[in-house]
Amino acid sequence: MTFWDRKRVLITGGAGFLGTAIQEHLHLQGVERDQLFIPRSRDLDLRKWENCQKAVKGRDIIIHLAAKVGGIGFNQKFPAELFYDNAIMGIQIIEAARQAEVEKCVILGTVCAYPKFTPVPFREENLWNGYPEETNAPYGLAKKMLLVQSQAYRQQYGFNSIYLLPVNLYGPRDNFNPESSHVIPALIKKFTEAVRDDQKVVEVWGTGSASREFLYVDDAARAVVLAAERYNKPDPVNIGAGNEISIRKLVGIIARYTGFKGEISWDTSKPDGQPRRGLDVSRAEREFGFRATTSFEEGLKKTIDWYLKSLDGIPPEGNDHC
């Protein structure tokens, strides 16, 4: 017997980037396909209450990944939709799950919920010590409210809802749509096309001074599954690799791996976003034994290789975090 035996699992956003990796990891744990319910947004729009009720009915475990997300430009263009859609989906899923007496909810938050000037490495206790970075505050705050709801529901109803804070994810099957992709897929696409078209200059947003932490998608999937199995406390948990890299260094690595030998031009009129991001990941290891095992450059090579092989088709879009 394992934790997942006979468990009926709902994964919202389960057909996306992280959701697909979680499905694969659950199959390795012996979870059969008929145990999983993976609704598509075109069939069940979770902004509608009755669809949330349908989605949770008869389920034991809910992993809530569904989100409207994008990079800095997307966040600046659609702040109201990012706030409303992410808040309403999560709030209704948790309430519907409580009413249906679901055994456990695993809620995926976002590193964007942290204050703009959080000391690095980010520790979970710093989460409320300021306002998020402005370009992604509506998204970050909407997701942050799901932590408040999870803790309130645990206190009042004894409802087991846990909250994870993943950093930026990357890997094969990421979203390479230039209108909504995040920094790694956006840069891979930009430099790959520059090499293909023999461009001499590639323009990149910002100054390059900002830093980010990145987690390979398969590691993230393993973290979510471990937390679902082993973690049952109200405190939020950072999910990351524990490594920080500057955007300037990231751009240089991607340029090298894609074979670009031209000039990189920095458009300093565009925002950098949050100045620094890097997580303290000790709680995840202590509470449920998670530690990332994929090195950043190994994961980046796999991502670039997958993208190059996919150019004859259409890369699938997926869920990620800003």
Q: Indicate the helix (H) or strand (E) that contains 138.
A: helix 137-157
DSSP 117-136: TPPSSB-GGGTTSSPBPGGG
> H helices within 12-78, ranges in order?
17-28, 49-56, 72-77
> Is 268 strand, coil or helix?
coil
Residue/partner pairs of 305-312 with CB below 8 Å, 24 or more apart: 306/171, 306/172, 306/173, 307/172, 307/176, 307/185, 307/188, 307/189, 307/192, 308/192, 311/192
What gap in Å lies between CA 227 and CA 208, rounded to an integer?
Answer: 34
Which of 189, 181, 201, 173 has its CA nearest to residue 265?
201
Task: Evaluate whether 136 touches 80 at the Cβ level (below 8 Å).
Answer: no
> Is 171 strand, coil or helix?
coil
**Residue 139 catalytic?**
yes
Q: Which of 84, 114, 131, 139 is catalytic?
A: 139
What gap in Å lies between CA 224 and CA 63, rounded to an integer?
Answer: 8
- Point out the residues that are catalytic: 139
